[in-house]
């Protein structure tokens, strides 16, 4: 196939450089990126673990009722600070959740 160029007709073979020509060999090449296989199912090492669920004993429930009578609903931190020996391992959020479940039924 011939192609018309301003200086005259040339074939594609005339325009193309040979495969082993120096201009193609010395052309800079970027390295191809290395791909590492990453499984999406691997657990993250820095992920915080969940606490184990503990059942509420009768003493904790009674102390929570008395604390709500004394401090009112919503003052979970005050109830927790006042009774640290009863609510060992409990957070203010635990008290809130337990009170919500106790008043629901």
pLDDT at 41: 74
Q: What is the mean pLDDT of the chain?
A: 82
- Report the alpha-carbon distance of residue 67 to residue 60 in Å, rounded: 10
Q: Which residues of the chain have pLDDT under 50?
A: none
Looking at residue 93, its pLDDT comes to 96
Give strand ranges (E) for 1-105: 2-5, 8-11
- What are 40-68's pLDDT values in tens digits? 776 666 777 888 999 999 999 999 999 99
φ, ψ (nearest 5 deg) of residue 58: -65, -40
Question: What CATH number belongs to 58-104?
Answer: 1.10.10.60
What long-range pairs does 81-88 form, CB within 8 A, spacing at least 24? 86/59, 86/60, 87/60, 87/63
pLDDT recorded at residue 21: 58
Q: Is pTM beyond 0.85 here?
A: no
Could you state, in order of their start, the residue ranges of all structural domains in the chain? 58-104
């Amino acid at each position: 196939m011939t192609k018309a160029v301003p200086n005259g007709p040339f074939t594609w073979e005339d325009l193309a450089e040979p495969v082993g020509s120096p201009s193609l060999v010395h052309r800079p090449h970027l390295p191809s990126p290395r791909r590492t296989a990453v499984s999406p199912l691997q657990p993250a090492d820095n992920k915080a673990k969940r606490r184990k669920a503990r059942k509420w004993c009768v003493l904790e429930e009674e102390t929570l009722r008395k604390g709500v009578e004394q401090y009112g609903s919503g003052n979970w931190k005050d109830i927790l600070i006042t009774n640290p020996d009863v609510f060992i391992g409990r957070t203010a959020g635990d008290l809130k959740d337990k009170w919500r479940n106790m008043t629901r039924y």
